[in-house]
Structure 1
Amino acid sequence: MGENIQGSFVSEKISKIRWKHEDFTEAKTFLTGSWDNPVNKITYWTFETNEDNETYPAVISSHAFLGDVTELKFISKDFFVASSSLGSVRLLQIQENPYAQFKEHMSWDFIHNFKTGDYASCTALSTFEQDIVSVGEDGRINLLTARQKKPVRTIENADSCSLYCVDFLRHSEILTGNLRGHMKVWDLRNDQDIPATTFMLSEQLKTEAVSIAHHPTQRHIVVAGGGDGSLTVWDLRHNTYPISQLNAHARSVSEILFHPDRPENLFTCSVSGELWHWNNAQKTKMKLDSIDSHWLNTIGANGKVSVVSLCTAMHKPINSIDIDRSTLLFGCDNEAIYVVKDIIV
């Protein structure tokens, strides 16, 4: 491990890790979700300093959680949603006063299930302001809002196989990816339960779509990760043919993350234990609004994209990443959380 990486053993496998972003100041607290325990936890962390002036993560509060934590997403400064492998979604608040604790405001119980009555894992969720969309192993899409208990809409048979990832492209449009590598754009203004567009993650390789991320300011630029470790990039304004496709990680892509303020920087982590930083900043500082500087479309051709490994490959999957300014967090199946400082973005 490099000098800028600090690991802390936490005695549980970490499935999700998320900064709690502050207004105009550097984030100092974060959330983790665990998996593979009889009772899992969502834990709220801060950083403390020891006698040697070294900072280390310290638990502020924790909350018992039924099932594996499959996603954590903040919808405001203090409110976040968490999804479960038992098919439920919960809306929680971090209450800071008088001491930090979790308060559950809403619970959408077992909204993913199989026709046999068994639970189906809620595999992913995405948020747009107060709106939430969840997908699951049951091929169902649920549209929720933090304002009410009853789901706004359920697309019962959205897919004939498991849905693994979902992303809000805009308030009225979502993108889903499934076990067979089918990508579907759904126009939520359409009352009919049929996708507006369907295309493949890869025409050459049949692999599942396991993660999606959109460019922070240009949501039509989308990157998807495959179960085979591949990365695929689309500009959904023009067509559904990928503008770039590359073999990346040795195994499935766990998460993809654009830097929120400097989106020429992309971060990916993998079940293979790899954590990579991709940078497409040009000497001319061309950004994605230039027609010929699509993300990653020149990789391998003229070396415009640099790829840096941020840590030595772990022997266990890296499941989740999040970044605030130049500090990146990641959670791993080796029961540790890591802080990577001073990333050049």
Structure 2
Amino acid sequence: MKGFRCPARHGYAVEVSPFLPGRLACATAQYYGIAGCGTLLVLEQREADILLLRSFDWNDGLFDVTWSESNEHVLVTGGGDGSLQIWDTANPKGPIQVLKEHTQEVYAVDWSQTRGENLVVSGSWDHTAKVWDLERCQSVCTLQGHEGVLYSTIWSPHTPSCLASASGDGTLRVWDVKTGLCRLAIPAHKAEILSCDWCKYDQNILVTGAVDCSLCVWDLRSVRQPLAQMLSHTYAIRRVKFSPFYKTVLASCSYDFTVRFWDYSRSPMLLDTLEHHSEFVCGLDFNLHVPNQVVDCSWDETIKIYTPPCLAALQELAS
């Protein structure tokens, strides 16, 4: 396991570059995001350690980060001041553009994987999601319908102009960006939902993670009840991610200081529990380039890169 420490900065989100296997970015906040500024860390994984390539400061906490799908140097972060910041790692002076329409914290950002589109979706505490065209540097659509804070907004990796959002109102919603309408609203939890993600192998499958300590897998073709429910966390689930290598494997991180790995097609579904942090674990991602490698970040000021033993075992079985 490799680690990196950034004193006085608490990790909120981490994402591996879609272009470079060793490059990752972490969105952080000072004073646990309650007050103070934020810092975007751009890091490089080396054989024995993690190197800080560049850091960018912002005047408010940074709560999420997403890499461009068309330019290996560009990233977008979401801030506590309601703005999105566009960064170029080749430009050390600061953001190359700031977009501000939200009236409260931006807690989620995600770059569309549809080729030829430079679209980013943002989710805010102002109960709205906005879709931004970064070539025009303006919003093109505002999605309204949630009755609570938006904690997660994720583009479908399968269907252009389709995205999902998860909210403090307990619902998971699927949106059609072309019409600006909600296609489906699922009362997924009787608690705030802090994260959602799409299955990389099936356009109808999503997972949600909530304050009720449960993960629910949903099939959009039949939403009366979840396809699977996973219980083991002891505090709120902050982020969920489907594996890019296995259809039914996913990871979750929590305010219980743990990262857990699951296979919802098996019994028991829980594959492993890792306890390598001493504070809330908020950020989590799989490395698309290195099978079964995971990166996470925590309020304990550390970023970790590792391969969970349970996923290494799955890889051995598959081979």
Residue pair 1:106, 1:146 contacting (<8 A) in 2 also: no
| 1:335 is the counterpart of 2:301 | yes
Q: Is 2:83 the partner of 1:88?
A: yes
1:59 aligned to 49, 52, 65, which one? Answer: 52
CA contact (8 A) 2:216 2:229 kept: yes
Query: Where does 1:304-343 land on structure 2 (aligned, <5 Å)?
Result: 305-309=269-273, 311-312=274-275, 314-324=277-287, 325=290, 326-341=292-307, 343=309
1:108 to 80, 87, 99: 99
User: 1:272: which partner in 2?
Assistant: 256
The partner residue of 1:217 within 171, 193, 201 is 201
The residue number in structure 2 matching 1:78 is 73
Equivalenced residues, count: 295
Tell me how far apart the structure 2 counterparts of residues 138 and 342 of structure 1 sit (CA, whole Å): 37
Kept in 1: contact 2:283–2:297 (CA 8 A): yes
Q: Secondary structure at the match of 2:130?
A: strand
Query: Are the counterparts in 2 of residues 321 and 331 from structure 1 also a CA contact under 8 Å?
Result: yes
Structure 2 CA distance, aligned partners of 1:7 and 1:167? 27
Q: Hey, what's the Cα distance between the residues in 1 that align with 2:138 and 2:192? A: 31
Q: Would you say the 8 A contact 2:41–2:55 is kept in 1? A: yes
| TM-score (ref. length: structure 1) | 0.78
Percentage of matched positions with identical amino acids: 15
How far the C-alpha of 1:147 sits from its partner, in A, is 1.0
1:187 equivalenced with 2:176 (yes/no)? yes
2:294 maps to a residue whose letter is L
The root-mean-square deviation of aligned C-alpha atoms, in Å, is 2.3
Map residues 220-259 of structure 1 onto 2, 5 A cutoff. Answer: 220-239=204-223, 241-259=225-243
* Equivalent-residue separation in structure 1 for 2:308 and 2:278 (angstroms): 24
The reply to whether residue 20 of structure 1 matches residue 5 of structure 2 is no
Deviation, 1:273, is: 0.5
- The answer for the alignment partner of 1:52 in structure 2 is none
**What displacement does 1:221 show?**
0.7
Name the CA shift for 1:306/1:179 in 2 (closer, same or farther; >3 Å): closer
Please tell me whether residue 44 in structure 1 is matched to residue 62 in structure 2. no
Cα distance change on mapping 1:160 and 1:323 into 2, 3 Å? closer
Compute the displacement of 1:270 (Å).
0.5
Mapped to 1, the partners of 2:182 and 2:45 lie a distance apart of 45
Q: Residue deviations 1:110-130, cap 9 Å, x none?
A: x211xxxxxx11121222132
- Structure 2: gaps (5+ residues): none
Tell me, what secondary structure is at the counterpart of 1:233? strand
Unaligned runs of 5+ residues in structure 1 are 50-54, 114-119, 280-295
Contact 2:27-2:38 at 8 Å conserved across structures? yes
Alpha-carbon separation, structure 1, partners of 2:169 and 2:77 = 26
In 2, distance between residues paired with 1:149 and 1:106? 8
Report how far residue 240 of structure 1 moved: 5.1
Kindly indicate whether the alpha-carbon contact (under 8 Å) linking 2:243 and 2:249 is maintained by their aligned counterparts in 1.
yes
What residue number does 2:160 align with?
A: 171
Question: How far is 1:172 from its partner?
Answer: 2.2
In the alignment, is the contact (CA less than 8 A) between 1:272 and 1:314 conserved in 2? no
* TM-score when normalising by structure 2: 0.84
Contact 1:141 1:158 in 2 (8 A): no
Matched, 1:31 2:25: yes
Give the secondary-structure state (helix, strand or coil) at the position aligned to 1:195: strand
Separation in structure 1 between the aligned mates of residue 17 and residue 178 of structure 2, nearest angstrom: 32
CA contact (8 A) 1:94 1:103 kept: no
Report the CA distance between 1:222 and its aligned residue. Answer: 0.1
CA-CA distance at 1:264 after TM superposition:
3.6
Residue 158 and residue 306 in structure 1: after superposition, are their counterparts in 2 closer, same or farther (change >3 A)? closer
CA displacement at 1:94 relative to structure 2? 2.1
Name which of structure 1's ranges 133-142 and 6-15 shifts more when overlaid on structure 2.
6-15
1:32-54 Cα deviation digits (max 9, x unpaired): 121135222111112456xxxxx
Work out the CA distance in 2 between the residues paired with 1:34 and 1:274.
Answer: 19
> Residue 146 of structure 2 contacts residue 169 of structure 2 at CA under 8 Å; is this kept in 1?
no
1:71 CA drift (Å): 0.9
In 2: Cα distance, 1:196 partner to 1:46 partner? 40
